[in-house]
Amino acid sequence: MCLGSNSTFVYSVLFEAIESWLSSFLAATFALPDPALFDILDSPTPGTSLAAALTATAITALVLAPIDLYRITYLSRYILLSNHIIVKYSSQSLLHASHQPEPNQSQH
């Protein structure tokens, strides 16, 4: 589970860094106020600012998609593996318990 936490941390840090950089880059390219400093509604053209923010988020998600796929695949394998182990051990304990002879009830 540690590797899943590490990949989630790396994904989160990279997502924030790349998205903020792309938002600032797109704002500078289209002469918009910096989204880190101003709200989208304070922009003279809020539609363009919203489009720039959505574009930055979409590009960031596409760039980080391989990390996200790895994270999801690894965590799902871990969950499936741990469930299989739990089911295996619980079924073995039930099988072991069913083969044990029952104590004699006539001893009082």
Which tens digits make up the pLDDT trace of 71-95?
A: 887 777 766 666 665 555 554 554 5
Residue 61 pLDDT: 96
Mean pLDDT of 3-30: 89
pTM for the predicted model, two decimal places? 0.66
Give DSSP secondary structure letters for 2-56.
HHHHHHHHHHHHHHHHHHHHHHHHHHHHTT---TTTS-GGGSSSHHHHHHHHHHH
**How far apart (Å, rounded) are the C-alpha atoms in residues 69 and 20?**
22
* Average pLDDT value over all residues in the chain: 78
In this prediction, residues 5-10 reach a mean pLDDT of 82
Contact indicator for 31, 6 with CB cutoff of 8 Å: no
